[in-house]
Chains A and B, each alone.
Chain A
Amino acid sequence: MYGGGQVFEPSSLNNDLLKDEDPKKLAEFEARIARGEKIEPKDWMPKLYRKQLIRMIEQHAHSEIIGSLPEGTWITRAPGFKRKLALMAKVQDEVGHAQLLYGAAETLGKPREQMIEDLITGKSKYSNIFNYPTFTWADSCFISWLVDAGAIVNQLANARGSYGPYCRALDRICAEESFHLKYGHHCVIHLATGTPKQREMMQEAVNRWWAPMMHFFGPSDKISTHTEILTKWKVKMATNDECRQQFLDMYVPKIWELGLTIPDENLKKNEASGEWEFTEPDWEEFKRVINGDGPCNKERIAVRRTAEERGAWVRRALAAKTKGEAYVAPMA
């Protein structure tokens, strides 16, 4: 699982970086991408491409590791063996995905430890949806089903992107995600079709999480930062709105068929255009939360920092035997 809503700050798309690039090399690079060929780590690439990719893959990796926390909240309380085992496996997968993704980002030259440090100091971001709390078991089920579903929409798009190592990591990740989605849906079905208490728990979770879910794919295209170059370079494979529409089309009917209501009375599919209509999400709220003012931002980073600090003696001890070996980036 990961999160969508890449926040491309205008300053980060500094086209000044492009001005100094060799135009012939740049043209060849862009032609390769246009042909549908993947870029591999040893290829020449513009600095801006390298920078944007590192940022994107790193953000995805951070989202996995931070994303393990809201669901992880319920590992020790999962009801019954089946759920207990499945949730343990799912959260473990997320840590595993982070490991794969950090590896992919490392091929571009940034060491994993530097990325982890940047997460903790706040230099690097992660998907905003994980800044919200999972109050009940049903909240964790919502995440397991629908946030994962959203992540899969993004991942399937990105798997067709231009950077080889990222595509390879995504292939492996997508294969594991099918269990996650099925598990999440299974949990929600059981709650929604269960006892009145279970149904109530699930409905309340949907009511809480719908707004963050609508934020998940990022600001609407019409107010988003211009990212044409990232589309040309196949770094960004689908627009925020396209992803959101795909998600709504696939999952709103599935939510409704369980007798659950969605807290947006304007939500409906326009049969003529095929597009889903909905109340415009509060993008000011989105900005506030992603910039640090959400219910769980502090906690997520504090937990990450604590894990690193508590583990420091372990890494010190392990490093005691390998001092001096130079860092080697992954090959592929």
Chain B
Amino acid sequence: MTEEALKDLLYKIADDQLILGHRNSEWTGMGPLLEEDIAFSSMAQDKVGQSLAFYTLLQELGEQEPDIVAFTRNAEQFHNCQLVELPSGEYDFSLIRHFLFDHSELIRFQMLAECPVEEVAQVARKLKGEVKYHVMHANTWVKQLASANDEANTRMQKSLDYALPYALGIFEASKFENDFIEAGIYPGEKAIETKWKENIALVLEEAGLKLPNWSEIKPVYGGRYGKHTKHLQPLLTEMSEVFNVDPTADW
């Protein structure tokens, strides 16, 4: 496995976390319930912090420093899946996205915790505790809301139906899939996808939400190769607005 392959993996992980953390931070101060506002904000910080950990790994591999990498690249240079760049919408969408993404992230970190690249394994081991709680939070909320009343169930179902094609984009194959599997880095995206489908099915059934036939869903790919929705560039422009007043300045 080459360094290029490893960087590809780390970039997509970091980009997912940064963009999702950024989206989720939009809810701070405007959540549906004070205590939940605080909780969601914590998780957004965790995500941004996690992305920093991965960008730091990338820096150790020769990439530029995290601030430059995060705040000066354009949309076509980002490798996040399209799911995370979609607008925050209402709370049902943000919760469903949190649920779908964090389940995949937990599996990914559990796998990477065993990876032979020690630096990566260390980060994964440390951070999987955080993601474990994010998943717990997501499970509790999805079950609580979807089983509460018709209004909530309908909303959650609609958001789920909308998000699923994009969620499958998390598992878009990298051109280095075989390299990762051969080098024992992790079993590859298909493996995460399979486990993910099992895990979410259990919770969704308990919640009273319907999963369509997977063969009926057309995954939305492209994110991993720099093809994004119209939402990403404005997000990045906003995120780097102050930084780009002077990228060399010390803020």
Where the two chains meet, the residues of A that have a C-beta atom closer than 8 Å to any C-beta of B are 65, 68-69, 72, 74-81, 83-85, 88-89, 91-92, 94-96, 98-99, 102, 112, 137, 187, 190-191, 194-195, 197-198, 201, 303, 306-307, 310-318, 320-321
Contacts and interface: CB of A to CB of B under 8 A. Distances in A.
B88 to A, nearest CB: 11
Contacts of A89: 45
A70 to B, nearest CB: 10
Contact of B148 (A68, A84, A194, A320): A320
Given A76-B238, A95-B41, A313-B152, A83 B251 contact: yes
B148 A79 contact: no
B246 A318 contact: no
B70 to A, nearest CB: 7
A313 B25 contact: no
Contacts of A310: 30, 32, 90-91
Contact of A316 (B35, B45, B151): B151
Contacts of A98: 34
A81 B22 contact: no
A99 B251 contact: no
Contact of A88 (B34, B41, B245): B41
Nearest to B52: A81
Nearest to B45: A88
What is the predominant secondary structure among interface residues of chain A facing chain B?
helix
B67 A85 contact: no
B251 A317 contact: no
What is the predominant secondary structure among interface residues of chain B facing chain A?
helix
A318 B149 CA distance: 9
B149 A320 contact: yes
Interface of B: 22, 25-26, 28-38, 41-42, 44-45, 48-49, 52, 66-67, 70-71, 90-91, 144-145, 148-149, 151-152, 155, 238-243, 245-246, 249-251
Given A68-B29, A313-B151, A85 B49 contact: yes
B34 to A, nearest CB: 5
B238 A79 contact: no
A195 B246 contact: yes
A79 B49 contact: no
Contacts of A195: 246, 249
Nearest 7 pairs between A and B by C-beta?
Answer: A311-B32, A317-B152, A317-B148, A314-B32, A68-B29, A79-B243, A92-B41
Contacts of B28: 68, 72, 75, 88, 91-92, 95
Contact of B71 (A79, A92, A137): A79
B243 A318 contact: no
A306 B29 CA distance: 11
Contact of B242 (A74, A88, A96): A74
Nearest to A76: B238
A215 B70 CA distance: 40
A117 B9 CA distance: 48
Contact of B33 (A69, A80, A306, A311): A311
Contacts of B25: 75-76, 88
Given A74-B242, A85-B49, A79 B35 contact: no
A77 B45 contact: no
Contacts of A201: 245
